[in-house]
A and B are shown apart, each in its own frame.
Chain A
Amino acid sequence: MNEYTYPILFGVIVGTIARFVMLKTDYRQYPTYLHGKVIHIALGFIAAGLGSVAVPAIMEKEFTAVTFLTIAASQFREVRNMERNTLSELDSFELVPRGKTYIEGIAVAFEGRNYLVIFTSLISTLCYLVWNVWVAIIATIICYLIIRKFMSGSTLKDIVDIEQSDIHFDGAGLYVDTIYIMNIGLPARQKEILKYGMGFIITPKNADVRTTIANLGQRQAILHDVSVSMGVFRDSGTPALVPLIKRDLDDGRIGVFILPQDPDVERAKRVIGAVPVLENAIRMPSESKARKKESPSK
């Protein structure tokens, strides 16, 4: 026992709790019970340890100890690889795949959250050592609030309007409103699709959003989340029954065609609205300097 024991212990505990808070299993069911969680809490514990030890090391003038953090960084990049590989492997067995963009987003979140743990432990240990335990507790609470802020990205309902729309066939072509989805040849399939299918039109609220929802990864994420939450009328060997999203090239609206097992329109709208906006799909053409020069009035 020395003067650093309690601060380090404090830092490790709040760091691990922080990781635990960020690790919630929701409709995505990832990470699953129980082993997946154990892996991430263990890694969170290691991250917390690294974060808390860094401060006393610097106070003891052991500056080389900071290089430890670089090891941590490469370690957590490995976490990202691990998550990416696992999810990509599993994706081929999903009836409606997540898509690479969604997977990358999840993997990045896992890596990023470990850094948030290091950050939390570092700040709380620092506050404990410089001031006292009460300041450290306040600092920890502030860190938790920041983490919560980081955790929740925006969802689709913030950026688009979602309207239900009818689906119909024009010859063999399936349409949602005026947006062409695909060609279905067999009359039997067409009947199934008209019976179980549901159509939605998603209208972007501004020009930036238009590019974001045009992203194929973002579209796949919508289909995956809807299929998870609402069920999907599909099996291997019935490739014609596939939920799809196509885009109206004229105005950037997208037509969502889904085959839910649960025919509740309002719920489907809520589910689509709750789909996360993928970080990797966000584009901000309005921030472009070249564009601003063209139209200074905007």
Chain B
Amino acid sequence: MNIEKAVLSVITTNKSKIDGGAPIFLCETKEEMDNVAANLEAILDGISHALSDELYIIVKH
């Protein structure tokens, strides 16, 4: 089976919301989160999607 989409990493400011699975990046502020997500997007060649204000995921399409 071919997996076409995958969550490459998770970026969040709220540690209690997440656990395990993909690499997780914890950030202090929203700005830091935007910054980390922008970098990861370019590095991983995935798109950062916002699930909520405090949770981004990088998804490879």
Contacts and interface: CB of A to CB of B under 8 A. Distances in A.
Chain A interface, >50% SS class: loop
Contacts of A184: 47-50
B61 A239 contact: yes
A186 B49 CA distance: 7
Interface string A237-255: 1111010000000000000
A185 B56 contact: yes
Contacts of B38: 186, 188-189
Interface residues of A, number: 16
B49 A239 contact: no
B45 interface: yes
A36 interface: no
Given A184-B47, A185-B50, A188-B34, 16 more contacts: A171-B50, A182-B47, A183-B49, A185-B37, A185-B49, A186-B56, A187-B34, A189-B38, A189-B41, A236-B45, A238-B42, A239-B46, A239-B47, A239-B61, A240-B48, A242-B47
Interface of B: 34, 37-38, 41-42, 45-50, 56-57, 61
Interface of A: 171-172, 182-189, 236-240, 242
